[in-house]
Amino acid sequence: MQTLSRWENTPTFFPQFRAALLEHVGSSATVVVIGASDGRLVLPLAAAGHRVIAIERDPVALQGGLVQLPDGTEAHAAGLVERLQQEQLDDRVDIVESDFLDADLPLAARYDAVWTSCSWHYSANHHRPLADFVTRMQDLVRIDGLFGAEFMMPVTARHYLSEHYTSPERLGPYFTDGWNIQLTLRTGQFTELPHIGQPHPHVHRMGALLATRTSSVTTERA
């Protein structure tokens, strides 16, 4: 992409999701991206020929605006709308400005794939159980479709007290009847450099889970 995302250097398992998308769904899938942010992972999907439904509620992420850099200065950050226009991809992406759990998406026409990147652990999402996010995502996936999520795993004592910092093992019970887990991944602890919203170096662990839906059986809420 010519227009860089503010999250351009953040580690991700997104390449593994894209490989699974091609293997299990195909090159012209409709993908729902939850927590689309400024489009770091939306634009590559649209550029590859996919139709994308991008769900995001942060107005700065969508429309752009001033953000505070780690050194305390301010700068303009391009939003999803601007970046799509600059890359001439806006005709391939439908933006839903809403909280994901309240978004008005027709379940009757389930989608080829869903993806989210490290959205559960944000404190703004802790007012709803993790089960709400996982099962809502599952509900959007058609039979033979793909579920993909990467997430922060616990590092500190505070993280271990929050279900929103999870692991592939803790997510596994959501993917029993009607699902096949295709891949689980995890990192060791690593130090991420300062970025917008976090002015100091900080330690993370990340995990990912990819699963395909095999039937319409409703998974028991774990």
Does the pLDDT of residue 7 top 80, yes or no? no
Would you state the structure tokens that stand for residue 58, as one six-digit string? 């942060």
Q: For 136-142, what is the mean pLDDT?
A: 94
Q: At 195, is the pLDDT very low, low, confident or very high (cuts 50, 70, 90)?
A: low
H or E element in which residue 210 lies: strand 206-213
Report the SS3 class of residue 104. Answer: coil
- Distance, in Å, from the CA atom of 154 to the CA atom of 201, rounded to the nearest integer, reads 17
Non-local (6+) Cβ contacts of 99 within 8 A are 57
Q: Which of 24, 35, 156, 183 is CA-nearest to residue 96?
A: 35
Non-local (6+) Cβ contacts of 186 within 8 A are 153, 167, 168, 205, 206, 207, 208
- The dihedral region occupied by 26, where left means phi > 0, alpha psi between -120 and 50, and beta the remainder, is left
Contact (Cβ atoms closer than 8 angstroms) between residue 134 and residue 179 = no
Q: At 2, is the pLDDT very low, low, confident or very high (cuts 50, 70, 90)?
A: low
Q: Measuring CA to CA, how many Å separate 129 from each of 34, 120, 200, 221, 222? A: 16, 10, 29, 11, 11
- What is the largest distance, in Å, between two alpha-carbon atoms of the chain? 52
Would you state the structure tokens that stand for residue 75, as one six-digit string? 């700068």
Non-local (6+) Cβ contacts of 107 within 8 A are 139, 140
Would you state the structure tokens that stand for residue 177, as one six-digit string? 């009847």
Does the pLDDT of residue 193 top 80, yes or no? no
The domains of the chain, with CATH numbers, are 14-213 (3.40.50.150)
Q: For 187-213, what is the mean pLDDT?
A: 85
Would you state the structure tokens that stand for residue 2, as one six-digit string? 């010519």
Does the pLDDT of residue 160 top 50, yes or no? yes
pLDDT at 220: 47
Task: Give the full edge-to-edge strand order of the sheet including 179-186.
Answer: 93-97, 51-56, 30-34, 111-117, 141-152, 206-213, 179-186
Report the SS3 class of residue 22. Answer: helix
Note the pLDDT tens digit of each residue in 77-134: 889 999 999 999 999 999 999 999 888 886 656 899 999 998 888 777 888 999 999 9
pLDDT at 3: 63
